[in-house]
Amino acid sequence: MGSMVFIRGDRLAAALDRLAERFDLWVPAAASRGGGAIRFVRYLSGTTPVLDRLTALSPKEAVQPQVEPLLRFKTIKGEGSRESDRLVVDDRIEVKPTLVFGCRPCDARAVQLSDRVFLEGPYLDVYYRARRESTLLAALVCREGDSACFCSAVGGGPADTAGGDLRIIPLEGGLVLEALQERGELLLEGWSEAATEAEGAEARRVVEEVSGWRMGDLETRGSIEDFKKRFQDRDYWRDVAERCLSCGICTFVCPTCYCFTITDEKKDLEGERLRSWDSCMFYQYSLEASGHNPRPTRLDRYRNRVGHKFSYFPEKYDGQLSCTGCGRCVRFCPVSIDIRRAVAGLKENVCECA
Ligand code: SF4
Ligand code: SF4
């Protein structure tokens, strides 16, 4: 295990205040004063982090903002005809050192999966790279899974370290913060409250305990081929997707979904080029300029979503599934469509979890 510090429960606010001086700090917290859903918010002194509940949205917003300006443009009017006008473009990328504190291991793993898409090529996304290089993830060892979670079935687990720079281990009376990567070690350098031997031992015990938990019993081996065999079975896809409303919620809450669209917003002589989250569950997403739509029905679009997570992506990226089993699409689908049922059915098994 890497370096460890211990943050006593009554000193967490002071520790977060200190971190917020160095980082744009994101923590899970109630979205409004009255409570409500837990989501990642920018920490301000006095924000109460909520570490014992699952978040509605993942922290992917820290590296893939819902709306992100790619460039700003302005027309400088010339003296004469339009030919004398000049277009000024500002494409500077402005990012701040960022720390996501208290995401779950499934969300840190999701960022690692997005890295493959945006950083491995053939196209390098310089906007994503800038944010990613300045973003650290401190993932909280998970002790609050629910019946929608299935991280163990897709390669993760409650104490998974994939994608994390630091790991947060909840103990009685406080949190152990453990460095997993060099960036995590650097963050802990000079931290005065090193964990005692007893705290380190207890942290190790907790990690060992939750590592043995099995979250979800979905069988995903062979999903690449299983999906291909089922691809043409429209009765099957109709059965699993007929209730779908094309609302897109499953994609917006998903930490591994990264569809986006680009629009120019202009007022008078100035404007911005914006990148915004989009959803492959929308009819318009795949609508081509000719009027043709290769995925015209909800069935086609839901099949594509399952195929992307469990067949296309792993086929391209060394077998890695593009699903971390966070369970959000299961929890938040308004008509209770369960992706585990769709995946289990690829093998014509009966899913116990539906
Ligand atoms: S959340 Fe459910 S209803 Fe909405 S698009 Fe996804 S599968 Fe369809
Ligand atoms: S597909 Fe569903 S369970 Fe899998 S990562 Fe996305 S939201 Fe989570």
Q: With a 6 A CB cut-off, is 247 part of the ligand 1 pocket?
A: yes
Q: With a 6 A CB cut-off, is 249 part of the ligand 1 pocket?
A: yes
CB-CB contact of 295 with 150 (8 Å): no
CB-CB contact of 184 with 166 (8 Å): yes
Instruction: To the nearest 10°, report the CA torsion of 149, 151, 204, 208.
Output: 90
For residue 329 the two structure tokens come to 């699409």
Predicted local distance difference test score (pLDDT) of residue 353: 45
Q: Does the pLDDT at position 79 exceed 90?
A: no
Could you report the per-residue pLDDT of 86-123, keeping only the tens digit for each?
A: 999 999 999 999 999 999 999 999 999 999 999 998 89
d(CA 109, CA 125): 19
**Strand locations in 172-284 (E):** 174-179, 260-267, 270-277
For residue 276, report the distance from its CA to the centre of ligand 1, in Å: 19
Three-point CA angle 248, 249, 253, nearest 5°: 125
Nearest-atom index, ligand 2, CA of 148: 3
For residue 154 the two structure tokens come to 């897709």
For residue 136 the two structure tokens come to 């650290």
d(CA 181, CA 166): 7
Band the pLDDT of 192: cuts 50, 70, 90.
Answer: confident
Pairing relationship of beta strands 24-32 and 35-42 according to DSSP bridges: antiparallel
Q: Does the pLDDT at position 349 exceed 60?
A: no
CB-CB contact of 343 with 330 (8 Å): no
Predicted local distance difference test score (pLDDT) of residue 189: 93
Query: In this structure, which residue's CA is closest to atom 4 in ligand 1?
Result: 247
Could you report the per-residue pLDDT of 15-56, keeping only the tens digit for each?
A: 999 999 999 999 999 987 777 889 999 999 999 999 999 999
Could you report the per-residue pLDDT of 143-171, keeping only the tens digit for each?
A: 988 999 999 999 999 999 999 999 999 99
Average pLDDT over residues 271-294: 98
Query: In this structure, which residue's CA is closest to atom 7 in ligand 2?
Result: 254
Hey, which of 256, 301, 332 would you mutate to test ligand 2's pocket, going by the most ligand atoms within 8 Å of its Cβ?
256
d(CA 7, CA 309): 37
Domain-wise residue ranges, the chain: 4-346
**Strand locations in the chain (E):** 4-8, 24-32, 35-42, 67-76, 86-90, 98-103, 135-140, 166-171, 174-179, 260-267, 270-277
For residue 342, report the distance from its CA to the centre of ligand 2, in Å: 13
Nearest-atom index, ligand 2, CA of 150: 3
Average pLDDT over residues 215-222: 93
Band the pLDDT of 2: cuts 50, 70, 90.
Answer: confident
Point out the ligand nearest to the CA of residue 285: 1
For residue 249, report the distance from its CA to the centre of ligand 1, in Å: 6
Q: Does the pLDDT at position 352 exceed 60?
A: no
Band the pLDDT of 210: cuts 50, 70, 90.
Answer: very high
Band the pLDDT of 350: cuts 50, 70, 90.
Answer: very low
Nearest-atom index, ligand 2, CA of 106: 5
In eight-state DSSP terms, residue 312 is I
Pairing relationship of beta strands 98-103 and 24-32 according to DSSP bridges: parallel
- The amino acid at residue 92 is R
d(CA 236, CA 349): 13
Instruction: Output b/e per residue, 30-40; b: 16+ Cβ within 10 A.
Output: beeeeeeebbb
